[in-house]
């Protein structure tokens, strides 16, 4: 009967093959050849997971060389089927013009207790080994995992979310569209905040807003590099680039205005506007900055503070080609451009875009 089953498969007479296999499963359910043909029947019936399970079971329990060879061939065919289906799904996901825009897939922290199972799911979806998957999944901070067409990122991101792996994706053009104003100083105007600032065209102006308009506060330190002369291990002088200081930044997000107010310690005019310290003329920039940040914090106790810039930057700092496409909107004096500047704007921009998306979804849900 096994020869009849083999002949039925060769003729693609799957109906006859199914009848014969069902009979053999009753008579000889443990026969590995019957199991192999049953797996083949599931394969041609598009029951991919069941077929894969049986093929792998045969590889574990059988020593017959021909059965092992055919089980491996079956797994190879199933892998090709999955790859074809995946490519079709990605092509469909990126068919619309806006789905071809460049985007970023960000992995969110996952509890260590859930990591083992999540790593297996992540490895299967992204087709990597489980050990690497576990190393990639973050425990504490965001990790930029992939940059590419946003439709493809959405394809993978949806599967990850459905498998219990927290993540999200944003379009880089959305970040590029955010207006950024460099704050010169803040002042109180009755119950509102007045800001004197500089726009992207270096024009100075002012705007007034309510504190309730601020939806997020983002802080970070950007390294300031200098060329120094040092003595190497051989006792010779050599030039090195070292971090000599850090510039302090604080972004205030005005979501409804699609704008970011960017404050940084070297560009803020502490002697104007708010009286943040009775002896501000004698204070250092660091003291003045701390006083200003304390004042901002007191005014915005309910606004979320985002302060994990440094670990975020470490996952994206080498993505030079991507960072080149994003203006930093940072005016630090540097001898050479630094990816740290763009990384901070990217971090702030991702938070801005993600929060704006959540607000839109919330509004749509209420309607």
In angstroms, the CA 183 to CA 267 distance is 8
pLDDT at 237: 65
- Within 62-179, where are the H helices? 65-93, 112-126, 130-136, 150-162, 172-176
Where are the extended beta strands (E) located within the chain?
Answer: 102-107, 143-149, 167-171, 179-189, 192-198, 204-209, 214-231, 237-254, 259-264, 305-306
pLDDT at 186: 94
Between residues 10 and 163, the one the model is more confident about: 163
Average pLDDT over residues 265-288: 80
pLDDT at 118: 94
Average pLDDT over residues 19-23: 81
pLDDT tens, residue by residue, 95-154: 777 778 889 999 999 998 899 999 999 998 998 999 999 999 999 999 999 999 899 999
pLDDT at 70: 86
- DSSP letters spanning 34-68: HHHHHHHHHHHTT-HHHHHHHHHHHHHH---HHHH
pLDDT of 29 > 80? The answer is: no
What percent of the chain has pLDDT above 90? 46
pLDDT at 51: 87
pLDDT at 52: 86
Is residue 36 very low, low, confident or very high in pLDDT (cuts 50, 70, 90)? confident
pLDDT tens, residue by residue, 48-82: 888 888 888 888 888 888 888 988 988 888 888 77
pLDDT at 45: 84
Strand partners, 146: 105
pLDDT tens, residue by residue, 80-107: 877 777 777 777 777 777 778 889 999 9
Average pLDDT over residues 287-295: 92
Average pLDDT over residues 228-244: 69
Q: Which residues of 239-258 are buried (b: 16+ CB within 10 A; e: fewer)?
A: eeeeeeeebbbbbbbbbeee
Can you say how many angstroms the Cα of residue 156 is from the centroid of all Cα atoms in its chain?
A: 11
- Among residues 280, 254, 256, the alpha carbon closest in space to that of 268 is found at 280
In angstroms, the CA 122 to CA 171 distance is 22
Average pLDDT over residues 145-171: 93
pTM: 0.77
pLDDT of 3 > 80? The answer is: no
Poorest-pLDDT segment among 44-48, 84-88, 172-176, 272-276: 84-88
Give CA angle at 238 (236, 242), nearest 5°.
135
pLDDT of 365 > 60? The answer is: no
Domains of the chain with CATH codes: 2-92 (1.25.40.10), 97-174 (3.30.1390.10), 178-310+327-337 (no CATH)
Is residue 244 very low, low, confident or very high in pLDDT (cuts 50, 70, 90)? confident
pLDDT at 99: 77
Count the Cβ atoms, other than its own, within 10 Å of residue 152: 20
pLDDT at 282: 60
Alpha-carbon dihedral angle through residues 166, 172, 175, 177, given to the nearest 10 degrees: -150
pLDDT at 75: 87
């Amino acid at each position: 009967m096994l020869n009849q089953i083999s002949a039925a498969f060769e003729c693609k007479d799957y109906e006859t093959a199914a009848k014969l296999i069902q009979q053999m499963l009753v008579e000889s359910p443990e026969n590995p050849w019957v199991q192999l043909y049953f797996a083949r029947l599931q394969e041609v019936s598009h029951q991919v997971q069941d077929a894969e399970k049986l093929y792998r079971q045969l590889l574990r329990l059988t020593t017959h060389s021909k059965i092992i060879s055919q089980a491996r061939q079956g797994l190879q065919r199933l892998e090709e089927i999955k790859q074809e289906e995946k490519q079709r799904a990605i092509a469909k996901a990126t068919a619309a013009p806006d789905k071809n825009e460049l985007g970023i897939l960000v992995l969110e922290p996952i509890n260590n207790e859930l990591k083992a199972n999540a790593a297996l799911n992540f490895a299967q979806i992204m087709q990597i080994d489980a050990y690497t998957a576990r190393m990639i999944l973050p425990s504490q901070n965001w990790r930029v995992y992939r940059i590419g067409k946003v439709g493809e990122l959405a394809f993978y991101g949806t599967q990850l979310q459905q498998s219990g792996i927290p993540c999200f994706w944003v379009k880089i053009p959305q970040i590029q569209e955010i207006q950024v104003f460099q704050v010169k100083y803040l002042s109180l105007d009755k119950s509102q905040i007045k800001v004197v600032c500089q726009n992207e065209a270096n024009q100075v102006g002012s705007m007034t807003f309510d504190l309730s308009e601020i939806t997020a506060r983002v802080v970070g330190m950007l390294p300031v590099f200098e060329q120094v002369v040092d003595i190497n291990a051989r006792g010779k002088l050599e030039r090195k680039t070292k971090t000599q200081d850090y510039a302090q930044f604080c972004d205030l997000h005005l979501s409804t205005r699609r704008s970011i107010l960017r404050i940084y310690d070297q560009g803020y005019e502490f002697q104007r506007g708010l009286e943040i310290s009775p002896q501000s003329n004698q204070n250092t920039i660091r003291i003045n900055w701390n006083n200003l940040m304390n004042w901002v914090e007191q005014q915005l106790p309910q606004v979320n503070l985002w302060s994990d810039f440094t670990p975020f930057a470490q996952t994206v700092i080498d993505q030079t080609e991507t960072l080149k496409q994003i203006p930093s909107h940072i005016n630090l004096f540097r001898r050479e451009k630094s990816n740290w500047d763009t990384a901070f704007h990217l971090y702030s921009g991702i938070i801005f875009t993600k929060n704006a998306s959540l607000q839109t979804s919330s509004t749509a849900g209420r309607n």
